[in-house]
Amino acid sequence: MDQDFVRTTLETLGGDACVTCSFQVEDMIVLDWLRRVRPEIPVLFLETGYHFAETYEYRDRMVREWGLNLINLEAGQSVAHQESVFGKLYQTEPARCCQLRKVDPLMTGLSDYSVWFTGLRREQSPTRANLQTVEKHRLPGGKVLDKVSPLAAWTWKEVWSHTVKNGIPYLPLYDRGYRSIGCEPCTTIPEDGAHARSGRWGGAKLECGIHTFSENQG
């Protein structure tokens, strides 16, 4: 996979494309290819209000340096309001918290597009083992779009080899041992030898729902 794959895919599929980006290392590889082919591509970031300070700093740095068309997708209520009504949902009902702060905003955000690029890889967790590079997905509202994951078959080693070789800046949290980085309250450093997403939600779940809410039609 390379920049040419991204260019050809955009030409073949046509329509309006976007990329979701949590500013993790895989997303940055896909984004680096996309920005060279289509600099104005919308970069959808799930602004949950719970990210690490380092993630916000890195996001803002890369937006400046790469001239990204960043679109922050926000929940219907602020973190302060949500916590005043429900308390810390990430402790008591993480599925509901993810639904409110990630899944619902993404469902709305994706309705404007017909092609959705991601940085997903099969190796990231057992829940992603059958991931295909291009899949048709049906959103709950009925819209069908193409979900494109150019790194589906890539290994962690390949990701880092490409990142270093191409001088792509990366989120400094990786240097502290994090492997899969999301909201701060739900992200820990995985045990040695465990798969990357075992450090999310204390191992209680593996997916926040943004890659399982749509119906995979193959």
Are 88 and 61 spatial neighbours (Cβ–Cβ below 8 Å)?
Answer: no
> Token pair for residue 35?
């920005």
Least gap, CB of 94 to ligand SF4 (angstroms) = 4
In the residue annotation, 186 being an active-site residue is answered as no
| Residue 197 within binding range of ligand SF4, rule CB under 6 A | no
* Core vs surface per residue 120-145: b (16+ CB within 10 A) or e: bbbbbbeebeebeeebebebeeeeeb
Site string for ligand SF4, 138-177 (x = CB under 6 A): ----------------------------------------
- Chain positions 48 to 67 lying near ligand SF4, rule: CB under 6 A, are 48, 50
Q: What residue type is 6 in one-letter code?
A: V
The residue from 21, 97, 183, 208 that is catalytic is 208
| Residue 98 within binding range of ligand SF4, rule CB under 6 A | yes
* Of the candidate residues 74, 185, 188, 206, the single one contacting ligand SF4 (CB under 6 A): 185
| Residue 210 within binding range of ligand SF4, rule CB under 6 A | no
> Token pair for residue 44?
């959808």
| Residue 110 within binding range of ligand SF4, rule CB under 6 A | no
* Of the candidate residues 68, 110, 148, 208, the single one contacting ligand SF4 (CB under 6 A): 208
| Residue 101 within binding range of ligand SF4, rule CB under 6 A | yes
Rounded to whole angstroms, what are the CA distances from 121 to 48, 117, 128, 154, 190?
23, 12, 7, 6, 17
Rounded to whole angstroms, what are the CA distances from 76 to 73, 90, 142?
10, 17, 22
* 94 or 199: CB nearest ligand SF4: 94
For ligand SF4 (CB under 6 A), the number of binding residues is 13
Q: If residue 17 lies in a helix (H) or strand (E), which one and from where to where?
A: strand 17-20
Least gap, CB of 56 to ligand SF4 (angstroms) = 14
First CA to last CA distance, the chain: 20
Give the C-alpha separation, 196 to 190, whole Å.
6
Point out which residues bind ligand SF4 (CB under 6 A). Answer: 48, 50, 90, 94, 97-98, 101-102, 182-183, 185-186, 208
Active site residues: 208
